[in-house]
Amino acid sequence: MKFSALIVDDEHIGRENLSSLLESYCPQVTIIGKAGHVDEAFPLINEKKPDVVFLDIQMPQKSGFDLLDKFEDRDFLVIFVTAYDQYGIPAIKAGGLDYLLKPIGTRELKEAVRKAGAIIRSKVEYTTLQSKFATVGNDYPEDQLSDAPLPPAPSPAHLCLPHLHGFTIVEISKIVRIEAENNCSMVYLIDSAPQFITRSLRDFEEVLADDQFTRVHRTHIINLNYLSSYASKDGHLAVMSDGTQIDIARRRLPTFFGKVNQFARFLSRR
């Protein structure tokens, strides 16, 4: 399956070398743009909408991490490309799909592209499947359809989670939290192993009940049913019932407190 890519590297030779390797060994990748620094890359990504961004980390003035911080919700995969091996852990925390060291090996590059292609293909297949389900029943003659308004649909008790090899249906009430993994997500459940899902946090926000789930950070949605406590001693932390501590972004604090106030009554001051 073909998909688009954009290369961000402050060195001209680095951009051209990677471009040449992709053209020679990864014909499924179509390069739709190149950028030499963060301020050039940000509008280019918004304009071109690449499926994958090959991103250098250490660049003058602003780093690759600074570029990613500009996106509240990323709808592209990130493959880091760098000459330095000390950025491995930060790259993982930033949601990188893969981490390639310069000089780039063809085997490592092909494997990174293969993983990206699998995720993109899974998302396309699932979207197609959703469209087919959505059109079921639309072929009935109009005179057989009632003009009476339909009652509001009840909130679903289950959620269909697409992954690389199909989908899994889970009870929404068992979702503890959802963590961003690039433009995919890791869904943590109360009674089973985490699920790697080929959907972004934005997709979950659109379907999960607003009175039970809230986004506390660009990387996290939590289920208030499993919120154990809030701690402000070392920043702003949501402590979940499984002991996980999740950072709450400062700008999301008013929404967080508002949701908690609706969910669980605060003791009034006398």
Residue range 201-250, pLDDT digits in tens: 888 988 898 889 999 998 999 999 999 999 988 789 999 998 999 999 99
Domain end among 96, 120, 144: 120
Is a pLDDT exceeding 70 seen at residue 106?
yes
Query: Does a structural domain hold residue 32?
Result: yes
**Does any domain span residue 130?**
no
Whether residues 173 and 234 share a domain: the answer is yes
Same structural domain for residues 166 and 244? yes
Residues 6+ apart with CB under 8 A from 20: none
Q: Pick from 188, 190, 125, 136: which is nearest to 162 by CA?
A: 125
pLDDT tens for each residue of 8-45? 999 999 999 999 999 999 999 999 999 999 999 999 99
- Give the C-alpha separation, 33 to 8, whole Å: 9
Q: What is the CATH number of the domain that holds 98?
A: 3.40.50.2300
Q: Are residues 92 and 198 in the same domain?
A: no
Q: What average pLDDT does the structure give for the chain?
A: 85
Containing structural domain, residue 236? 158-263
**What's the structural domain count of the chain?**
2
Cβ atoms 230, 240 nearer than 8 A: no
Same domain, 59 and 163: no
**89 and 197 part of one domain:** no
Phi and psi based region of residue 243 (left: phi greater than 0; alpha: psi -120 to 50; beta: remaining): left
The answer to whether residues 177 and 98 belong to one domain is no
Bridge partner residues of 166 (DSSP): 163
The reply to whether 181 and 233 lie within a common domain is yes
Domain boundary among 93, 120, 147: 120
* CATH code of 217's domain: 2.40.50.1020
Euclidean distance between CA atoms 97 and 83, whole angstroms: 17
